[in-house]
C-alpha cells in the first residue's frame, strides 16, 4: 500500500478544510455536515464519483436532476442528484436521512437526494453501497451502434422519434418464441405478436393450411397459448431483430439489450424446420402481414447444403417466389467456414481423379436410419462418369451419365448413385451419392470413402461436390472431405436464393459480465470476420453473402424454459438475456435493418433492399476491397459512413462531426482548408444537406479560403420550411472532393 500515507494526508487536509468551512460559517449544522462529509471520504461504501463530488463541492452535471417542487430535498443542501442505494433498507429510514425514494427493486433503491445529504445515507441501517448512476450502455450496442441503428432511431430507448420498425412486421420461422418475455411486450404488458402458428401442435390450423395451431393476439394477451420456445434459438434471434429491451433482472435497469427494430410487430411460426415447413411458414407470415396492411421481413436462421448452390434449390426457389414489394427475406449464410464439406475438381478431357471423404466412428442405433448424401453439380457443358467405393471395398461400379445404379447392397451399406439424371432450372446437372442403412444389418461404414471421377466429354471439367445432408445416431464428428477440399462456396440454402438477402457474421463483442458476476469471454478478433462465417460465392459466381453483420458475441432475449439449462457463462448479469453466436444472429441484424428500411421506404423490393444495404455498407481494414466472398459488400451500416480518404483520392481538408447531434435547431459544421486544397485553382465550396435517400434538402455556401471555417445550417429546407425529423447527411464539397458527416434532426 505505498500510497497510504498520502491518502491519509489528503483525508486530513479535506477534513481540516471542511471543519474550517464549518467554523467560518459559524453554524453547528454546517459543522456537523462537514464532519459527516469528511467521514464519508473514508467510507468504502461510497461510490468514487460521489466521493469526488463531496471533495470538490462541484456536482457532476450528468447526474444532477433539475429541482422538482415538493421533493423536499433542496432544503437539505442544493439541487437533487440521483443515487442508487444497495442493501436491505427501509424507505422510511432513507426519507428520514433526507432522500426521496423513487423505485424499490429488491435490494436496490433509487433516490433523489441533495449532495450535502449524501453522507447521511451511509448512516442508514442496511446500506451496503451508495452509488452514482452510470451512463446506460446498450449491451447490444457493440452491434446496434456498430451498424448505426441508433442513428436511424433518432433517440434513445424507449423513445424513437426516427425509425424503429413501426407498422412493419418481422416474421420468425424458428423454434418458437417465449411469448411472456417482456422484450416482446409493450409497456402496457400487451404482446407485440399479432399471430403465432405452432406447426408442432395439433388443433385448429390457420386457414389454407392443414397442420398446427394458430393463435391470435387476443389469445396471447389472455395467456391461454401453450406454445413456447424450449430451445431458445427463436427467442434469441427475435430479440436481436426486434426486442425492445424491457426485460431485466437482478436490479439492473431496462433497455440495456435492445434489438434493431424495437417497435416492429411480430408474427411467429414454430416449426420442426423441414424445408416444406419453412416454406409454409414464410407464406403464412406474408399472408397475415397483408391482412394487416403491413410490409414484412421474414427471418430465416436455418439452412442446409442441399442443391446446386446457385439459387435453384427447392427452398431457394420457393422462398424467392414468395418475396416481392414489401415482402423481404433475410437468411443466415451458415456456420461452415473452414469445414471441409465442399470438394472441387477441374479435369482435362479424358482425365481421372478421386475425391475422398470420411464417415466418423459412430454407434448405430436401430431407432434411426443412418444415412449420408453427397451432391455433385456441374454445368451442362461437362460430362463425367463416377464410381463410389466404401472402406471395405463395397462399390457402385462405374456409372455413366444419365444412369442410376439402383440399390447396391454392400458390407459398407446400401449404395445409390444418380449420374446427371437431375437438371436444375439453370441447366446444371446433379451427381448424387447416397449411403443408407437399408435394414440389412449393414449401416454406412465408418472410415474413408472414395468417389472416382473421369471426364468423358464436354467443354469444361469442373465438378463441385458437397456433403449435403446426413444423420448418424452418434458420431465423433461430421463427415468431411479429405482430398480435393475447397473451402469456398459454403453459403447455405435458402441464403443462396435469388431474392433472399444473406448475412455473414463478424465480431462485435468478446467479453461480458455473466449472471454470476464473473467475466465471460469468446475467442476471436474484434471487428474481424467470425471464424465460423460461411464464405461464398455461389457456384455460379454470384456474390453471397450479400453483407456481413454482427454475429459473434451478441446478447438478446433468453427464453424462460431454457433458463434452468442455460449456462451461467452465457447469461448476462440480468439473468434474462444471454450471449450467442452464429450467422443466425447476423441474419437477425439484417432482418431488423430491413424492417427499418421498410418503414423508411414502404413496399421496398428485394433487389432494391439488397442494393440499399450494399450501397450503405461500411468498408475498413478488415473487410478490404469489396465485394468479397466472405464479407459481401462489407459491414452492415444503416447510414452512409464518412467517406474514407483512400476512396476519394487525396482528401486533405478536415471536417469535424456535426454539432449538436442530435439537433433541434441549427446544425454546425467546422472544417479547415489548406493551401493544398486550393492549389488546383478556383474551387467551389459548399455544404449540401441530404436526407438518407440522397435527396438534397438545402445548400449552404462556403468560401474558398485557406484556414478554418464554420458553416451553419438553420434546419430549414431550400424552400424555407422546417426540415422534418430524421437522419441527414452534411456533405462538404470542395471542388471535386468531398467529406460526409451524418447527424440527426429532432422536432
Q: DSSP string spanning 7-21? A: HHHHHHHHHHHHHHH
Check whether residue 475 and residue 503 sit in a common domain. Answer: no
Nearest to 297, CA basis, from 167, 145, 491: 167
Contact 556, 243 (CB under 8 A): yes
**Mean residue pLDDT across the chain:** 84
C-alpha cell at 620: 475498413
Least confident of 115-119, 351-355, 511-515: 115-119
Higher-confidence residue of 708 and 512: namely 512
Helices (H) then strands (E): counts for the chain: 14, 33
Question: Do residues 451 and 288 make contact, with C-beta atoms less than 8 angstroms apart?
Answer: no
Cα–Cα distance, 337 to 317 (Å, whole number): 24
The two beta strands, 213-216 and 193-198, are antiparallel
- The pLDDT assigned to 264 comes to 98
Domain boundary residue among 481, 513, 540? Answer: 481
Q: What residues contact 322, with CB distance under 8 A and at least 6 apart?
A: 279, 282, 283, 286, 329
Question: The C-alpha cell of 259 is what?
Answer: 434489438
Residue 48 has pLDDT above 70, yes or no: no
Whether residues 406 and 471 share a domain: the answer is yes
Residue 328 lies in a domain: yes
Q: For residue 107, what are the domain limits?
A: 4-131
d(CA 630, CA 633): 9
Q: Is the dihedral of CA 668, 669, 672, 678 positive or negative?
A: negative
Give residue-wise pLDDT tens across range 294-322.
Answer: 999 999 999 999 899 999 988 898 899 99
**Residues 316 and 176 both lie in one domain:** yes
Say how far apart CA 690 and CA 688 lie, in whole Å.
6
As a whole number of angstroms, the distance between CA 33 and CA 28 comes to 9
Angstrom distance (rounded) from CA 306 to CA 422:
13
CA distance 267 to 170: 6
Q: Let me know whether 112 and 209 are in one domain.
A: no
pLDDT bucket at 20, cuts 50 / 70 / 90: very low
Task: Quote the cell numbers at residue 736.
Answer: 471535386
What per-residue confidence (pLDDT) applies to 58? 55
Structural element, H or E, at residue 91: helix 91-96
**471 vs 451, higher pLDDT:** 451
- Strand ranges inside 429-479, DSSP E: 429-436, 447-458, 462-471
Cα separation of 416 and 406, whole Å?
A: 6
In a domain, 621, yes or no: no
| pLDDT band (50, 70, 90) for residue 619 | confident
Q: How large is the average pLDDT for residues 588-596? A: 97
Which of 456, 481, 506 marks a domain boundary?
Answer: 481
Residue 625 located in a structural domain: no
- Buried b / exposed e over 543-577, threshold 16 CB at 10 Å, is bbbbbbbbbbbbbbbbbbbbeeebeeebbbbbbbb
Residues 200, 172 share a domain: yes
User: What does residue 373 show for φ and ψ, rounded to 5 degrees?
Assistant: -130, 140
Query: Grid coordinates standing for 210?
Result: 392443414
| β-strands 168-174, 295-300 pairing | parallel
Question: What is the arithmetic mean of pLDDT over 13-42?
Answer: 42
178 domain residue, yes or no = yes
Rounded CA separation 479/71 (Å): 69
Q: Are 260 and 364 within one domain?
A: no
130-162 pLDDT tens trace = 876 543 322 233 455 566 676 677 777 888 877
| Residue 236 pLDDT class (50, 70, 90 cuts) | very high
Same domain? For 598 and 656 the reply is: no
Helices (H), 323-466: none
For residue 676, the domain's CATH number is 2.60.40.1930
Burial of 11 (0-12, 13-18, 19+ CB in 10 A): middle
Residue 199 shares a structural domain with residue 332: yes
Q: Which residue has the cell 416474421?
A: 171
pLDDT of residue 558: 96
Q: Please, what sign has the CA dihedral across residues 488, 494, 497, 500?
A: negative
3-state SS of the chain: helix, strand, coil percent to 5? Answer: 20, 30, 50
Considering 448, 481, 514, which residue would you say is the last residue of a domain? 481
User: How large is the average pLDDT for residues 497-513?
Assistant: 93
Lowest mean pLDDT among 86-95, 624-633, 657-666: 657-666
Q: What is the pLDDT of residue 566?
A: 79
Query: Do residues 322 and 359 both lie within one domain?
Result: no
In three-state secondary structure terms, 198 is: strand
Q: What's the pLDDT score for residue 453?
A: 98
Q: Is residue 429 part of a domain?
A: yes
Helix (H, G, I), strand (E, B) or coil at 109: strand
Report how far residue 724's alpha carbon sits from residue 92's, in angstroms, rounded to the nearest whole number.
Answer: 48
- pLDDT computed for residue 139 by the predictor: 25
Residue 279 has pLDDT above 60, yes or no: yes
Q: Is residue 421 left, alpha or beta, with left meaning phi > 0 and alpha meaning psi from -120 to 50? A: alpha
Contact residues for 473 (Cβ-Cβ < 8 A; gap 6+)? 362, 363, 364, 365, 367, 368, 370
DSSP reduced 3-state for 129: strand
Identify which of 126, 128, 115 has the alpha carbon closest to the alpha carbon of residue 83: 115
Q: Are the C-beta atoms of 365 and 399 separated by less than 8 Å?
A: no
Q: CA-CA distance, 127 to 346, in Å (whole number)?
A: 74
Q: Give the pLDDT band (50/70/90) at residue 79.
A: low
| Same domain (yes/no): 182, 323 | yes
Q: What is the pLDDT of residues 331-380, one digit of tens each?
A: 999 999 999 999 999 999 999 999 999 999 999 988 888 999 999 999 99
At residue 540, the pLDDT reads 96
State mean pLDDT over 604-633: 86
Q: Report the share of the chain in percent with pLDDT over 70.
A: 85
What are φ and ψ of residue 84, in 5° steps? -115, 125
Q: Mean pLDDT throughout 680-691?
A: 85
Say yes or no: 330 and 348 in one domain.
no
Angstrom distance (rounded) from CA 305 to CA 309 = 8
Local confidence band at 15 (pLDDT 50, 70, 90 cut-offs): very low
pLDDT of residue 726: 80
Question: Do 313 and 416 have their domain in common?
Answer: no
Longest CA span, the chain: 108
pLDDT of residue 14: 36
Q: List Cβ neighbours of 736 (8 Å cut-off, separation of 6 or more).
A: none
Angle of helix 28-41 versus helix 48-56 axis, rounded to 10: 140
261's CB contacts (< 8 A; 6+ apart) are 164, 165, 168, 170, 241, 242, 592, 593, 595, 596, 599
Domain annotation covers residue 139: no
Q: Which comes out higher in pLDDT, residue 579 or 680?
A: 579
CATH number at residue 315: 3.40.50.200
Other CB atoms within a 10 A radius of the CB of residue 274 amount to 12
Please indicate, yes or no, if residue 137 is contained in any of the structural domains: no
**Which range, of 24-33, 74-83, 477-486, averages the lowest pLDDT?**
24-33
Beta-carbon contacts of residue 207 (< 8 Å; ≥ 6 apart):
none
CB proximity list for 528: less than 8 A, separation 6 or greater: 506, 507, 622
The answer to whether position 146 is within a domain reads no
Under 8 Å between Cβ of 641 and 362: no
| CATH label of the domain that carries residue 410 | 2.60.120.1290
Provide the number of structural domains found in the chain.
4
**In terms of C-beta density within 10 A (0-12 exposed, 13-18 middle, 19 or more buried), how is residue 407 classed?**
exposed
Phi, psi values for residue 38, rounded to 5°: -65, -40
User: 72 in the Ramachandran plot: left (φ > 0), alpha (ψ -120 to 50) or beta?
Assistant: left
Asked if residues 329 and 583 have their Cβ atoms less than 8 Å apart, the reply is: no
Q: What is the DSSP letter of 607?
A: H
Amino acid at each position: 500500500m505505498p500510497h497510504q500515507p498520502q491518502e491519509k494526508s489528503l483525508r486530513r487536509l479535506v477534513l481540516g478544510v471542511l471543519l474550517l468551512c464549518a467554523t467560518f460559517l459559524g453554524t453547528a449544522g454546517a459543522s456537523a455536515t462537514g464532519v459527516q462529509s469528511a467521514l464519508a471520504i473514508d467510507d468504502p461504501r461510497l461510490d468514487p464519483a460521489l466521493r469526488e463530488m463531496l471533495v470538490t463541492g462541484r456536482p457532476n452535471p450528468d447526474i444532477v436532476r433539475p429541482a422538482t417542487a415538493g421533493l423536499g430535498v433542496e432544503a437539505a443542501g442544493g439541487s437533487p442528484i440521483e443515487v442508487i442505494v444497495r442493501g436491505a433498507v427501509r424507505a422510511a429510514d432513507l426519507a428520514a436521512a433526507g432522500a426521496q425514494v423513487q423505485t424499490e427493486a429488491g435490494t436496490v433503491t433509487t433516490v433523489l437526494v441533495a449532495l450535502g445529504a449524501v453522507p447521511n445515507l451511509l448512516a442508514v441501517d442496511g446500506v451496503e453501497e451508495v452509488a452514482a448512476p452510470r451512463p446506460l450502455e446498450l449491451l447490444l450496442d457493440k452491434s446496434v451502434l456498430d451498424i448505426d441503428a441508433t442513428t436511424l432511431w433518432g433517440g434513445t430507448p424507449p423513445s424513437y422519434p426516427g425509425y424503429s420498425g413501426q407498422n412493419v412486421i418481422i416474421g420468425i420461422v424458428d423454434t418458437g418464441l417465449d411469448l411472456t418475455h417482456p422484450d416482446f411486450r409493450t409497456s402496457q404488458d400487451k404482446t407485440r405478436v399479432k399471430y403465432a402458428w405452432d406447426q408442432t401442435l395439433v388443433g385448429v390450423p390457420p386457414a389454407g393450411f392443414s397442420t398446427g395451431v394458430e393463435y391470435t393476439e387476443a389469445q396471447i394477451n389472455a395467456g391461454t397459448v401453450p406454445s413456447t420456445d424450449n430451445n431458445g434459438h427463436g427467442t434469441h434471434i427475435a430479440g436481436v431483430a426486434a426486442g425492445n429491451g424491457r426485460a431485466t433482472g437482478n436490479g439492473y435497469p431496462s433497455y440495456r439489450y435492445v434489438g434493431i427494430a424495437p417497435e416492429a410487430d411480430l408474427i411467429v411460426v414454430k416449426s420442426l424446420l423441414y424445408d416444406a415447413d419453412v416454406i409454409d411458414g414464410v407464406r403464412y407470415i406474408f399472408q397475415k402481414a397483408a391482412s394487416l396492411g403491413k410490409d414484412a421481413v421474414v427471418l430465416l436462421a436455418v439452412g442446409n447444403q442441399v442443391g446446386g448452390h446457385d439459387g435453384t434449390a427447392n427452398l431457394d426457389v420457393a422462398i424467392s417466389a414468395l418475396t416481392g414489394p414489401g415482402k423481404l427475406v433475410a437468411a443466415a449464410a451458415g456456420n461452415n467456414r473452414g469445414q471441409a464439406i465442399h470438394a472441387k475438381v477441374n479435369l482435362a478431357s479424358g482425365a481421372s481423379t478421386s475425391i475422398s471423404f470420411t464417415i466418423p466412428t459412430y454407434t448405430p442405433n436401430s431407432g434411426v436410419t443412418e444415412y449420408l448424401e453427397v451432391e455433385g453439380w456441374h454445368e451442362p457443358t461437362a460430362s463425367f462418369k463416377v464410381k463410389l467405393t466404401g472402406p471395405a471395398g463395397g462399390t457402385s461400379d462405374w456409372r455413366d451419365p444419365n444412369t442410376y445404379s439402383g440399390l447396391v447392397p454392400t458390407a459398407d451399406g446400401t449404395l445409390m448413385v444418380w449420374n446427371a439424371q437431375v437438371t436444375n432450372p439453370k441447366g446444371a446437372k446433379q451427381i448424387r451419392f447416397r449411403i443408407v442403412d437399408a435394414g440389412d444389418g449393414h449401416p454406412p461404414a465408418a472410415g474413408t470413402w472414395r468417389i472416382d471421377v473421369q471426364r468423358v466429354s464436354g467443354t469444361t471439367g469442373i465438378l463441385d461436390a458437397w456433403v449435403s445432408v446426413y444423420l448418424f445416431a452418434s458420431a465423433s464428428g461430421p463427415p468431411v472431405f479429405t482430398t480435393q477440399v475447397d473451402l469456398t462456396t459454403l453459403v447455405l440454402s435458402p441464403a443462396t436464393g435469388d431474392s433472399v438477402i444473406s448475412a455473414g457474421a463478424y465480431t462485435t463483442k468478446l467479453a461480458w459480465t455473466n449472471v454470476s458476476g464473473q467475466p465471460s469471454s469468446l475467442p476471436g478478433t474484434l471487428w474481424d470476420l467470425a471464424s465460423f462465417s460461411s464464405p461464398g460465392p455461389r457456384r455460379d459466381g454470384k456474390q453471397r453473402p450479400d453483407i456481413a453483420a454482427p454475429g459473434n458475441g451478441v446478447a438478446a432475449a433468453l427464453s424462460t424454459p431454457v433458463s434452468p439449462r442455460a449456462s451461467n457463462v452465457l447469461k448476462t448479469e440480468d439473468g434474462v438475456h444471454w450471449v450467442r453466436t452464429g450467422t443466425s444472429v447476423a441474419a437477425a441484424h439484417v432482418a431488423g435493418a430491413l424492417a427499418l428500411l421498410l418503414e423508411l421506404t414502404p413496399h421496398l423490393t428485394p433487389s432494391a433492399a439488397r442494393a440499399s444495404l450494399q450501397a450503405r455498407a461500411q468498408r475498413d481494414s478488415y473487410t478490404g476491397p469489396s465485394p468479397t466472398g466472405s464479407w459481401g459488400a462489407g459491414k452492415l451500416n444503416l447510414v452512409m459512413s464518412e467517406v474514407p480518404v483512400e476512396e476519394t483520392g487525396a482528401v486533405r481538408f478536415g471536417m469535424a462531426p456535426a454539432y449538436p447531434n442530435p439537433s433541434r435547431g441549427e446544425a454546425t459544421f467546422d472544417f479547415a482548408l489548406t493551401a493544398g486544397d486550393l492549389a488546383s485553382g478556383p474551387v467551389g465550396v459548399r455544404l449540401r444537406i441530404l436526407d438518407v435517400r440522397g435527396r438534397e434538402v438545402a445548400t449552404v455556401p462556403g468560401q474558398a479560403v485557406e484556414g478554418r471555417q464554420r458553416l451553419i445550417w438553420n434546419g430549414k429546407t431550400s424552400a424555407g420550411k422546417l426540415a422534418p425529423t430524421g437522419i441527414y447527411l452534411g456533405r462538404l464539397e470542395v471542388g471535386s472532393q468531398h467529406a460526409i458527416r451524418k447527424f440527426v434532426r429532432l422536432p
